[in-house]
A and B are shown apart, each in its own frame.
Chain A
Amino acid sequence: MDFSYSDEQQMLQDSVQKFVYSQYDFDTRRKIIKTDTGFSAEYWSLFAELGWLTVPFKEEDGGFGGSAVDLMVVMEEFGKGMVVEPFLATAVLGGGLISELGSAAQKEAMLSAVMEGSLQLATAYAEPDSRYNLASVGTSAKKDGASYVINGNKVLVLNGPAANKLLVVARTSGEKFDRDGISVFVVDASASGISKREYTAVDGHRAAEVQFNDVKVSADSLLGAEGKALTALERVIDRAALAVSAEAVGAMDCLLKKTVEYTKTRKQFGVAIGTFQALQHRMSEMFIECQLARSIVIMAAMKLDTTASDAEKAKAVAAAKARVGRAMRKVGQESVQLHGGIACTDELDVGHYFKRVTTIENLFGNTDYQLVRYASL
Chain B
Amino acid sequence: MNADFTAEELKFQKEVQDFLKAEFPQDIKHKVDNGIRLEKDDFVRWQKILYKKGWVAPNWPVEYGGTGWTPTQKYIFAMEMGLYGAMEPVAFGVKMVAPVIYSYGNEEQKKRFLPDILASNVWWCQGYSEPNSGSDLASLKTTAVRDGDHYVVNGTKTWTTLGQYADWIFCLVRTDSTAKKQEGISFLLIDMKTPGIKVSPIYLLDDEPEVNEVHFDNVRVPVENLIGEENQGWTYAKVLLTHERTNIAQVPNSKLKLRKLRDLAANTPDGFGGSLLNNTVFARKLAEVEIQVLALEYAELRTLAAVSVGKAPGPESSILKVVGTEATQFIDELYMEVAAYHSLPHIPEQFAEGFDGDRVGKGSLANSSNVYFNNRKKSIYGGSNEIQKNIISKAVLGL
Residues of A within 8 A of B (CB): 126, 128-133, 136, 155-156, 177, 197, 199-203, 207, 209, 267-270, 273, 278-279, 329, 333, 336-337, 340-341, 343-347, 351, 354-355, 358-359, 362-363, 366, 368, 371-372
Contacts and interface: CB of A to CB of B under 8 A. Distances in A.
B225 to A, nearest CB: 27
B67 interface: no
11 contacts: A131-B269, A202-B370, A209-B360, A278-B386, A337-B384, A337-B385, A341-B129, A344-B204, A346-B207, A355-B373, A368-B279
Interface string B114-142: 00000000000000010011111001000
B345 A199 contact: yes
Contacts of B343: 202, 362
A354 B373 contact: yes
Contacts of B165: none
B344 A202 contact: yes
Interface string B323-349: 000000000010011001111111100
B281 interface: yes
Q: Which of B159, B205, B279 has the most CB of A within 10 A?
A: B205
Contacts of A346: 202-205, 207
Contacts of B385: 337
A187 to B, nearest CB: 21
Contacts of A129: 269, 271
B340 A366 contact: yes
A177 B272 contact: yes
B203 A345 contact: yes
Contacts of A130: 271
Given A207-B345, A268-B134, 17 more contacts: A136-B271, A155-B342, A200-B346, A200-B347, A202-B369, A202-B373, A203-B344, A337-B376, A337-B385, A341-B159, A341-B377, A344-B205, A344-B376, A346-B202, A347-B202, A366-B337, A366-B340
B170 interface: no
Given A340-B135, A341-B377, A201 B345 contact: yes
A344 to B, nearest CB: 5
Contact of A363 (B134, B158, B341): B341
B134 to A, nearest CB: 6
Nearest to B386: A278
Nearest to B387: A268
A3 to B, nearest CB: 33
Contacts of B136: 268-270
B59 interface: no
Contacts of B156: none
Report which residue of A131, A207, A372 has the largest number of chain B beta carbons within 10 angstroms of its beta carbon.
Answer: A131
A359 B341 CA distance: 8
Interface residues of B, number: 49
Contacts of A337: 376, 379-380, 384-385
Contact of B344 (A131, A333, A359): A359
A333 B360 contact: no
B367 to A, nearest CB: 10
B381 interface: yes
B344 A362 contact: yes
B257 interface: no
Given A207-B344, A366-B340, A345 B202 contact: yes
Contacts of A371: 281
B270 interface: yes
Interface in B134-190: 134-136, 139, 158-159
Contacts of A333: 376
A199 B360 contact: yes
B270 A344 contact: no
A341 B381 contact: yes
A199 B134 CA distance: 36
B273 interface: yes
B75 interface: no
A267 B139 CA distance: 11
B102 interface: no
B201 to A, nearest CB: 10
Contacts of B204: 344-346
A132 B340 CA distance: 9
A371 B179 CA distance: 58
Contacts of B380: 337, 340-341, 344
Contacts of B55: none
Can you list the 4 inter-chain pairs with the closest CB atoms, starting with the nearest? A131-B271, A133-B271, A268-B136, A346-B203
Nearest to A136: B271
Nearest to A367: B337
A371 B342 CA distance: 20
A207 B342 CA distance: 12
B135 A268 contact: yes
Interface string B348-374: 000000000000101000000110111
B361 to A, nearest CB: 8
Nearest to B132: A267
A199 B359 CA distance: 11
A126 B369 CA distance: 19
Contacts of B270: 131
A346 B377 CA distance: 13
Contacts of A268: 133-136, 139
Interface string B263-287: 0000001111100000101100000
Contacts of A269: 135-136, 139
Contacts of A341: 129, 134, 158-159, 377, 380-381
B377 A344 contact: yes
A155 B365 CA distance: 14
A346 B210 CA distance: 12
